[in-house]
Amino acid sequence: MIRKRVLARGEVQGVGFRFHARAEAQQLGLGGYARNRPDGSVELEIEGREASVSRMLHWLECGPRYAVVTALEVSDVAAIGENDFQITD
């Protein structure tokens, strides 16, 4: 199991980004969270099998239909055994 912290920048708030990310993460069997940040970005942590995390990172490059992702900042963090994906404040 691996875990990544991701900052998605661009037009990512107000377009359903977190909700679509949760649906995609659940479909891939990933745990973690998504939350809006005051600077207009969306912060996510995703945890699961390496192949599933890789697929999620690929999805995050574009995001949902109305999002415009201009940058993804990805870093490794320690896995914590989380298997549910939440939307947090």
The catalytic residues are 18, 36
User: Using H for helix, E for strand and C for coil, what is the string for 41-85?
Assistant: CEEEEEEECHHHHHHHHHHHCCCCCCCEEEEEEEEEECCCCCCCE
Judged on CB neighbours under 10 Å (0-12, 13-18, 19+), 86 is middle
- DSSP character at residue 30: -
